[in-house]
Structure 1
């Protein structure tokens, strides 16, 4: 095939050239698979080379672990340590199948874990995703998130199976050249914001659709993207669960095709063919599975029963954030997602992360670190408090305000919650006046 397979800057090997690169690595890949017991860490500095090596490792019967040192300096070390537990790669019942892909969880609330999944756990959703994006021969899908993220690795698997091209950014931040020839993108809200800002600054583009996951999408950002002809398909999922719910028209999340959703005591559970096998070489974590195959990562949710209809009986799913992040303050339970959504709706606020601040009498106070827009007038804590009073109850109003020029983010674009909270409480993040 002479059509481009991967693009980065002016470099664009075709599918036949990529196949030749994979074949040239076959001997080295086989030796690495044998030495690592099946798991092979792969540097990600050059994503085109990394994908070629990843496919060579897969052809040799192993699993490539894409290392990413940008948001987690210890990620490569974790990958190397994981190779010591490689005997687990051979695990997996006949029903589950053998592991074929490995990716790191986001680590937004703590240490990332290495997650194993089968080929089919991703492949079974390829047709639905292609339909949502209306992918055709000759399309190029832009991947702003680092290759190490499960979001990007999913699209690598999808492209290898269906033959569309992938575009990788030249640098850490997107530039006009990165969006010039892409017709679709699979990204996070953070990546979509970068794309929209480039377009608003005059960058030419051909984007017609965006698949957006990894964090909750701000409705205002959806509107800005749609104003430039980009159709938005947002979804809720997790590295452990893959796709769970999708919003194709801005009316709210509903269960993804092939996924059953239930809510037990405010906690969302999913039953689908997309669920991962489990973590490698790590105990604990958010991922739990019951005897019937239902799985959860502990995210809170509720059904909007009034939203179902005869045309679509699926109720809208209202996400409430990770339940173990709830803030107990003065006998009230505050869900950080509620506070963050109210603040993101304020003009001039790019993003916000709420967390518990220890307090001797109240137990905890609601604290928040905000990232303010560089293009808007500065806001004070008093001004922000006034603007969210009508949407937040008194118990949900933040009492401690911090400000960061840029919120630290994981490889998948999620805010690094544990780090943001630690930096605020240790005084490393500035207080908002």
Structure 2
């Protein structure tokens, strides 16, 4: 845990970082902070220490933000990551809708395999506590058969659900009756495997800034979550609901802003994070990804421009293009195509990874690395992300090992 803030930990409206090195201890500290009026900001213990130091500086430099209850991460992938602030009611207003999806009660035990740094886990902590339901936080970054013997409901990513199903198919006993799954596309085959194991699956689409937007309870398509209005404007999904976050920490005033980052608002209560959708005649939504090229991977939304800025700060990297490549377990893997400075030897993937991890959260660290002498660009000189991705998928650029 991080107790470097001392007496300032109890200042109302103050954002306080807490490292999730021991999940139970970190959660106890976070809830105590929340009771005193502070705003807990939980981070993954696998993050590099220098990245974590940047988070502490961000919180230290910000003024207290009265009225806020929770802080979570958006695309925090550079030395100054985005921190999302939200009120208590922005989550609690959706509790009845989520409870209704599973008939969740105080007799349930909710399993949260994703780190507490993930907004989906922190939301479910607040939700379960409001009902008096139990919570299981795994102490390792893997699915435990012992946890599955106790939990009745799970909230996690498709990758976590797949891991749980594999354990169950391997012969482990379990009590899971339902799973709420978000953060990436849920494959229909995985849904069928889970349901064959006796687990009812509800997938949902949302964003850390917007919270719940749409749910798919039967595998037929996404419908608006209770209390949410949606509209499609030239392919962009716009949302209006009582569940929005308030804004990002660290605006020009040093406290909070709602104008930077992925979130955009209009003057009539509508907001978008740039997701592109199709809507059929029945109102069902089909997600097509981010217009700005954001990568949906596991429980994170990765903004390519942020990762590219971090990679350009690495020795010998002249420029980089970041994009997603398909992956069945996580939706997409973050990949990077780099152009090195003339005269420098071509770095290995290990060398790039070691330098990148000091600047990027684990969820934003590229998993695939490629090299080219000249990055593809548009006629105006901008990185041609689609062309870079096509080159990688075609095998026409060098993969670094």
User: TM-score when scaled to structure 1?
Assistant: 0.67
- Rounded to whole Å, the distance in 1 between the matches of 2:288 and 2:80 is 22
Q: 1:133 to 1:199 in 2, by over 3 A?
A: same
Please show how residues 404-423 of structure 1 align to structure 2 within 5 Å: 416=364, 419-420=366-367, 423=369
Deviation, 1:142, is 0.3
- Rounded to whole Å, the distance in 1 between the matches of 2:335 and 2:22 is 36
Give the equivalent residue in structure 1 for 2:142. Answer: 173
1:37–1:83 CA contact under 8 A, matched in 2: no
Give the equivalent residue in structure 1 for 2:275. Answer: 299
Deviation, 1:69, is 3.1
Deviation, 1:53, is 1.1
Match of 1:319 among 283, 287, 293: 287
Give the equivalent residue in structure 2 for 1:393. Answer: none
- Rounded to whole Å, the distance in 2 between the matches of 1:51 and 1:257 is 29
1:147 to 2:129 alignment: no
Give the equivalent residue in structure 1 for 2:353. Answer: none
The residue matched to 1:154 in structure 2 has which SS?
helix
Q: Deviations over 1:152-202 (max 9, x none)?
A: 110111122111011011211112112111000010111111101111111
Structure 1: where are the runs of 5+ without partners?
1-24, 91-97, 309-314, 328-335, 360-407
Give the equivalent residue in structure 1 for 2:19. Answer: 43
Q: Deviations over 1:346-367 (max 9, x none)?
A: xxx88654879699xxxxxxxx
Give the equivalent residue in structure 1 for 2:56. Answer: 80
Give the equivalent residue in structure 1 for 2:197. Answer: 228
1:52 to 2:20 alignment: no
Give the equivalent residue in structure 2 for 1:424. Answer: 370
Deviation, 1:75, is 4.9
Match of 1:284 among 260, 267, 270: 260
Deviation, 1:425, is 4.0
Q: Deviations over 1:371-421 (max 9, x none)?
A: xxxxxxxxxxxxxxxxxxxxxxxxxxxxxxxxxxxxx9xx999x64x7246
Which stretch shifts more, 287-296 or 69-78? 69-78
1:117–1:276 CA contact under 8 A, matched in 2: yes
Structure 2: where are the runs of 5+ without partners?
252-258, 296-322, 340-356, 374-396
Runs (4 or more) in structure 1 with deviation over 6 Å come to 108-111, 354-359
Give the equivalent residue in structure 2 for 1:66. Answer: 42
Please show how residues 395-410 of structure 1 align to structure 2 within 5 Å: none
Q: Give the aligned length.
A: 322
Deviation, 1:295, is 0.9
Deviation, 1:219, is 1.0
1:146–1:412 CA contact under 8 A, matched in 2: no
Match of 2:232 among 231, 253, 263: 263
Give the equivalent residue in structure 2 for 1:216. Answer: 185
Q: 1:356 to 1:66 in 2, by over 3 A?
A: closer
- Rounded to whole Å, the distance in 2 between the matches of 1:159 and 1:351 is 27
- Rounded to whole Å, the distance in 2 between the matches of 1:146 and 1:291 is 35
Q: 1:208 to 1:85 in 2, by over 3 A?
A: same
User: TM-score when scaled to structure 2?
Assistant: 0.72
CA RMSD of aligned residues (A): 3.4
Deviation, 1:73, is 5.2
- Rounded to whole Å, the distance in 2 between the matches of 1:320 and 1:294 is 20
1:115–1:276 CA contact under 8 A, matched in 2: yes
